[in-house]
Chains A and B, each alone.
Chain A
Amino acid sequence: MTTFDRTQHTQAPAMRWPRITFIRFSLLAMLALIVASWIFVLNADGAQNHSFLSAETFNRFKDFLADLLGVGASGTPAYAQWSEWRSTGHLAYDTLVMSVMAIGFAAIFALVFFMFGARNMMMGDIAPYGSWFWRGVFFFVRGIFVVTRAIPELIWAMLIIFVLSPGLLPGAVALGLHNAGILGKLSSEIVEGLDQRPIQALRSTGAGRFQVMVYGVLPQALPRFVTYLFYRWEVIIRTAIVVGFVSAGGLGTEFRLSMSYFHFTTITLLLVWYLILVLGVDITASYLRRLAR
């Protein structure tokens, strides 16, 4: 997971002294932000009926845990009933489907655009295109990546639910859009960090634009692209429950309903399924990642 922020930019050694001051400035700014934020948060917390650090909070917490476990509630808790396990299992299946669909959408989007978002392909040394037109394409594609990435999945889902009818599709599209921006940016950076010699060699034999892309860039970039794909899938399965909150189906929708009806033991059951999904995806992804190497 440490590999994806490897930017590897080299700068002239003459830039040595401003670099130290910039880092220092950033750390100081961060410190100021931290102090200001905590003052704000603690003030807002102090304005509540009871502050966070009080016996009241502790008691409420204890009661809530008891509710989740169904202590003192009438009737059998949901997690002790086979039928409940089965019905929530269907929802977990839906959530899994949603996550796979989402990573598929994101991958297609990123694969179509990532070459056009790589600086060295569009206007660097190895650029088969040097015109202002392709420069414009580069900035346009990067702009799309920035916008899709900056808007969180849940807000995408809130917007998309106006257009698509409720179900798995809007959730998958929302997850897919956000992750398309992330995957697109990451994979463009893969291309920027590639070993350029094979590509230059290919160019010198007179290969055209698309030949360079297909035979020079893709084979080098795909293995790392696939590793990123699995890394994002692990994130998506965690977020798939969240887009469900806005009636996009799966575990999230049921979670929201149970919260509003105070069906606390159902929530415990949903959380158990959620953890099973996350664990299962983590294991599957780490197995499949080995195939990509």
Chain B
Amino acid sequence: MTSTTSRDSAQKPRLLESRRVLTLILLTAFVWSLLNLDWTTGFIHSGGIDAMGEFAKALFTLDLSGDTLTSAISASWTTVAYAVAGLTLALLIGIPLGAIGSGVLTRSPWLRVTSGGGTRFSLAFFRSIHELVWAWLFVAAIGLSPMAAVLALAIPYGGILGRIYAELLQDVPDAPLRSLRSTGASEWRVFWYGRLPMALPDMLSYTFYRLECGIRSAAIMSFVGLGGLGHEIRISLDDLAYHQVWTYLLFLIGLVVIVDVWSTMVRRRLSE
């Protein structure tokens, strides 16, 4: 960070200085966090190394029996279904709240501040709590229903989507909007015929990116007892059946990679 060129430092001496300060802050923070560890006792379990060795060895004796594969496939489907269903609900939260939160639907400054600010605040609240915490609260409240998993995914994801959509809707180029306004279009029409079509590719692209995250989040919903790949991993770990753990882990990795490749292909084409 300190290796800025001499021309830069001549032009903006304060920038260089603030970067040095930042480096110092970051290093101090990291050292402070390490000092909080208890250095007097060992960090590794007795037998921890052996467990790691066994775990590594189990990769070469993968459990590929029919039973394991069937349950892996059905768990993968559960995970995908939670992720997709959660994301659709998240869209229903994110699109309207994002549009209102961006404050572009009205010209009145008073409405803009109140409705925009209020919506942004609720979006921030939605996304500040992790999906698994939401899931646990829902399960505690209403019991083990798959809807708990879907809702738990939908709320924080809706919060994130809403915020990003709001930013994208605000960031569209202004010139086409002005020409629409000059024809006498209301802000609502400007939104439909100007802002939304221009922001849509980026919005879609971000949504596809979120799908990949959704798969990972859905996989851990199992922790509160809602099925899916994480559930199988946890059960196999409790049985110390490392070779099964690997099978499920590889399924999870494969699933994420497939969605990742797909979403990258879509996003690459959308951003052209």
The chain A residues found within 8 Å of chain B, CB to CB, are 1-2, 5-11, 19, 22-23, 26, 30, 33-34, 36-38, 40-41, 44-45, 48-49, 51-52, 57, 60-61, 63-65, 94, 97-98, 100-101, 104, 146-147, 149-152, 154-155, 158-159, 162-165, 167-169, 172, 214-215, 218-219, 222, 226, 229, 238-239, 241-242, 245, 255, 259, 271, 274-275, 278-279, 282, 288, 291-293
Contacts and interface: CB of A to CB of B under 8 A. Distances in A.
Contacts of B41: 165
Nearest to B151: A52
B145 to A, nearest CB: 5
A22 B265 contact: yes
B256 interface: yes
Contact of A218 (B3, B21, B85): B3
B216 A150 contact: yes
A29 to B, nearest CB: 9
A61 B83 CA distance: 23
Contacts of B130: 238-239, 241-242
Contact of B80 (A33, A65, A101, A164): A33
Interface residues of B, number: 91
A103 to B, nearest CB: 8
Contacts of A34: 84-85, 88
B147 A100 contact: no
Interface string B227-258: 00010011001000000010001001100110
B48 to A, nearest CB: 4
Given A155-B219, A259-B136, A165 B45 contact: yes
B19 interface: yes
B272 to A, nearest CB: 6
A156 B32 CA distance: 24
Contacts of B219: 152, 155
